[in-house]
Structure 1
Amino acid sequence: MSIGFLFIAITPGYFDPMSYLFGNILLISKEDVYFVIALDLVILSVVGIFYNKLVALCFDEEYTHLRGVHTRWLYLLLLCLTALTIVLLVRIVGIIMVIALLTLPAAIAGNLASGIRQMMVLATVFSALFIVSGLGVSFTFDLPSGSVIILIATACYLLSLGLGVKHLRKQEKTGPSAK
């Protein structure tokens, strides 16, 4: 990443390296929104078609291959979709926010969900909630929107860890025989 920033910095023309790190969600153009919608449709279609195979691939690639699934092709498809998402979002919201929005909602959903489908839905909902609430707070207090969104997501993640610990302690007290 450092070499990329170095080459971009020495390239003639205006460039703000901070926009690639932190982005500015408030400067998203109409074309960017259309690209995001198109990419969403592609990703939802691929996941809808290959859902079971993708879940199997993510949890146990060797078993999936032994079941006759072409794991190499499926793995490359998954990597390409992930790369497309990251490249498009880096342009819009910056590297730091992309990493936060790819990991924090999924981590929170993982702490709260009982299955992979529920985790996917919860992560999507959490991500949308973080963005909307972060934009509202940043507008109200005149703060950088990306930073506020990430701070709200981080606070919610820490809260979910606390809830997860309470849930585990409650389970330990009742024990598996109490069911």
Structure 2
Amino acid sequence: MITELDVEAIRDGHVSGAVDANTGNRPLPRFFPEISVLKEKVGVTDAQAARIEPIFDKAQQEIAAAVIAREFHRIGEVREDTKDALDKLLDEHQRAALEELLAQPFGGRPAGPPPPPLTAAQQRDLAQRYADIFSVFLKNRTAITRVTFWGVDDGESWRRQSHPLLLDDKLQRKPAYDAVIAAVAGAK
């Protein structure tokens, strides 16, 4: 299951989890400083403010209409609430960029030297998890701008003890790699 899902979406000009530098409040209501703060702290004149504010407002609207999803971490199996979270994000007519995807065939382990290779059963489990994840993504592919992975191979990842990536520590494809390719090919 997705045990940690950090989906942040920009909705109505708010950024979840961010702190407003002007007030210290959450969520951040703007991406840009308030004009009054620029006047007070930077010395922006009324004439400059009149030119800046429409630019800030337009950029704010464009940013709010743009994207955003981040970091699917520690994926075990795809649960219905994961699908619901992605559906909710995409139902709001936003395009999503899914970043730092990784799936773990079993509970996370601390960083350390490369562990023994996965068993055949663990390889199958990891491949199935990636296939399930990508089936959800592919159903919503028109709204997803990109999917990036946590890294390239297990050997370079500090999460290498959990074998979460598509290539092993010797840069060899794992069955999970083939599962992603098959899911994408099957969706065309």
TM over 0.5: same fold? Answer: no
Higher helix fraction (1 or 2): 1
TM-score, normalised to structure 1, is: 0.22
Structure with more contact order per residue of length (Cα contacts < 8 Å, sep ≥ 6): 1
Structure showing greater Rg = 2
- The structure whose residues are more often strand, as a share, is 2
